Structure 1
Amino acid sequence: MWGSSWRFAYIVLGAVFALISGSTLATGSTTQATHQARRSGDFPEAENAYRNPPASKAVDWENRDYRLTCDDIVDKPVQAVIRNAKGIVKNGDIGGYDHWEVEVQRAARGRLPRLGDVTAVLFYCSPQPSNFFMQELRVYRTDDGSEIGRTPTFDVPELPPQYQPKSLVIKNSRLAADVKFYGPDDSHADGPSILRHVTWTWENDRFVTHGSGTKSEAQGRSDLSRQPITVNGMGPLKMGMSRNEASKAIAMPIPGEEGRRVCTDFTVEGGPEGLLLRFTSDRLVAIYVTRPATTIATRSGIHIGSTRDNVLNTYADEITATTPDYGGEELVFAPSAPEFAGRVIRFGISDGAVETFIAGEHDWAVFAPSCGVPE
């Protein structure tokens, strides 16, 4: 009896051991088969996900927020919300204008030494109200859109040059574009005519410009008849300069000595007739335009002969009309932005049109009493 029982138990235990062993072998076989299937490509999704993790979402350069200066119209960048390649900037310090009209003109992708994969974005910016526009070129990392830097503003005595958007590329380890510059015979209405191929390289943590001829070596002197006037100056002439600094900036003499009056209106030797530079205590405080200097205009395009309505529409809410003691009418443009430090442009109106204008510091940009002539 006991022998039969032992034999029965032995048979049962053997069956259980066989079942357990079979299950283990089956599991091992399944695991091995899975590894073999992965190696043979039966599970491509799992294998690809392991080898190539999902890429980050591509940056949409025509639909994102940027920080711009409108090519240095303001010192500190302000936020520009761009949607479908366009946007309106109203908030922040925008240089005393009502708003900026901003547009992405082109985005060019490529590789630059020490920077890797980058995207250059060319912006169009038109402050309003005005009849001019600026362009600004900034470079970003392609993968996450973080800004690397911007190309320098062109240091030219003429009106700002114009990028040709379709020409913008990153090629041969350089950022490159065709840019049209103003020549001495070009007008604001007709646009620039001198085409140059300009490139930029990344050196010492900044972009360096090559091939722009920004100092106008061939011309030597500044053509002041083509320089736009702002409350801050005229081309290379900046308010607060000494007479020696101003002369060097335009590469032309400003002859004579300051007179006995509190201020003196100097002419520029070789400069346009009707242009006067007002100094007091050897400091440039105003720029005065009279006939026959009818081609000299403000940056917004106002010149001698512009209609009164044109002046009012151009400067909108920041211009006031006054009646001086000597008669006639004056329109005074006084931008409210702090960086303009109370400077103005004063227009003398006669028969419904601009007869003369003067720009500079508020207390010195006046028509009467006139300042003295040089001694």
Structure 2
Amino acid sequence: MIRWLGMILFLIPAVAQAQRLATLTVEGDVTCQHHRMTDHMLSTEEVKLRLPEVDGPISGRGQYRLKGTGYTLSGINAVAGEVRDDAELVLTYLQWNYQGDWMPSEAPYVPTKAQPVILPLEPGGEAKVTFVNATPDKAPCSGTIIYRVIFERETQIWDVTLKGVRTLLHRTTYDLIDTATGARQPIRYEHGVTFSYDLAARTTLEKRAGKWRFREAVVTRAAAKARYDQTPPLFKVTAENCFGCARVAALKGASLSGESDGATLRLAWPSALSPVMQIDTVPNFQCPPGENKADCEDKMKTGTRYTAEDDDFFNHAASHSLALAESSPSFAPTPSDTMSVYKALRHDYTLKKVK
């Protein structure tokens, strides 16, 4: 990297109160065409920085190493700039010192106030400066310089488990007929499906601009099952399948979006996920005489298919706002209980802070 030896004085801004440590690395690959030679220079730099939490100046000193054509250089370097809104690292100064003297240089070889180098303030955030035939009045130089910031944002990790059920039962009345006397006796019949779930997600929050924000959530456990219930058992189950239970199990390892303000957390469970239970049955009673006997006997042969879909559990889970504290909150609206339908829904959470 081309530098011109000279005596300079410089001021490094005062270091803001340390909140986070970071490392700035700079890698250069530059070729300069001098009158009598071609100088190919490979350089590396490293500077430790203290980053303010939101906004503020940064400065630091580190080390540089350069290998040119037939020579090597090494020594201390100095960097300065600022952090903007915890989103950008703006570099406005970078110089090398060789044997006690500072070697001033200019853009594009180094960042300046007029031509800063701006890196996204993300772990591994990178900026690349590429130039062709720069400073032709001194020595035309072409190459690439890569700036990279290495740090870790402050994080919290929470394990969130979700267990719950959704039940939907249909109610009707059947007439039981005494085949000997023909007497009718009404009987209440209730049947339906209960879906149950066992889910968990590891959730990471990170600090941005001084506030905790949602970063990611990964499903660590996912299981669903369905149970057919009937009272009394008037029908014999010949086959049952839970279509969609496998889709719930497939959530393991998947990412969830979410929201957090540092005090609450909402996980966006897939609200469109609606498992379906399918049950095949045949009557488990003797067909009584009368006008419906033929239809009853036909059902004895062909059977009856019943399906139930759960379009409630995930839809409601996606809307729950959870207080960020080690706790076990539950959400259980008052069941709907009528002569024809019983419907109940329950979500039981457990939040545990891992880090």
TM-score normalized with structure 1 length: 0.20
Which structure has the highest helix share of the two? 1
Which structure has the highest strand share of the two? 2
TM-score normalized with structure 2 length: 0.21
Larger RCO of the pair (alpha carbons < 8 Å, separation 6+): 2
